[in-house]
Structure 1
Amino acid sequence: MVKGSFGLIVGIIIAIYLYVDAPKHNKSRWLWAILGFIFGPIALGIYLIQTGRKVLGWIITIVAILLYILIIFLVVVAAVLFSTGGGF
C-alpha cells in the first residue's frame, strides 16, 4: 500500500508543478498536468527540456528511463523464478 501511495503522491506533485509552471512558458497547463500525472518523471523531464532547462531535464528523463528498465527487468526475473520453482 505504501508503494502505491508514494507513486500516486509523486504523480500528483508533478502534475501540480506542471499545472502551475506551464503558463509561464506558454504551454497548455492541462495537457502538461495530465501528462505529468500519467507519465510522471519522464513527462517532467521532457517538459524541462522543452522549456530550456535541458541539463536537469535530460538527467531526470535518463534516470527515470533507467529505473523503469530496471523495474521491468526485475519483474521478468521474478516471473521466470516463480515459473521455474525458484531453483531451490
Structure 2
Amino acid sequence: MEFASSLVINILVVVFLVIDAPKHGKRAWLWGVLGFFLGTIALGIYLIQTDRKVLGWVILIVSVIGYILLIIFILIAIAFIFSL
C-alpha cells in the first residue's frame, strides 16, 4: 500500500515536471526522469530553480526530514530485531 501511494506521488510529480519544464526553458525529459527517481526532492529543486523559492524550499526541507526520519525508523527496527 505504501509503495503504491509513493508511486502515485512520483508519477504526479513527473507529470507536473514534464508539463511545466518547457514553460521555463528546461528539458522536460530530464526533469521527468529526475522526478521519477527522486520524487519530491526533484520537485523542490525544480521549484527553487524556477523562482518559486519559498514553496521549493518548504517541499525540499520536508522531503529531506521525511527521508531522515524513515532511515532512523528503519535503523531502530533493525536494531530491535537483532537485539531479540
TM-score norm. by structure 1 comes to 0.95
1:21 aligned partner = 20
- Please tell me the residue identity of whatever aligns with 1:31: L
Distance 2:56 2:2 in 1: 25
Distance 2:33 2:15 in 1: 10
Percent of aligned pairs with the same amino acid: 48
Q: How many residues align?
A: 84
Residue 50 of structure 1 deviates from its aligned partner by 0.1
- Please tell me the residue identity of whatever aligns with 1:80: A
Distance 1:76 1:3 in 2: 19
TM-score norm. by structure 2 comes to 0.99
- Please tell me the residue identity of whatever aligns with 1:22: A
CA RMSD in angstroms, aligned pairs only: 0.3
Distance 2:73 2:2 in 1: 16
2:68 aligned partner = 69
- Please tell me the residue identity of whatever aligns with 1:14: V
Where in structure 2 are the equivalents of 1:1-88 lying within 5 Å? 2-85=1-84
Gaps of 5+ in 1: none
Residue 29 of structure 1 deviates from its aligned partner by 0.2
Q: Which runs of 4+ in 1 moved over 2 A?
A: none
- Please tell me the residue identity of whatever aligns with 1:45: G
Distance 1:82 1:36 in 2: 34
Distance 1:76 1:18 in 2: 33
Based on CA coordinates, which of the two structures has the bigger radius of gyration? 1
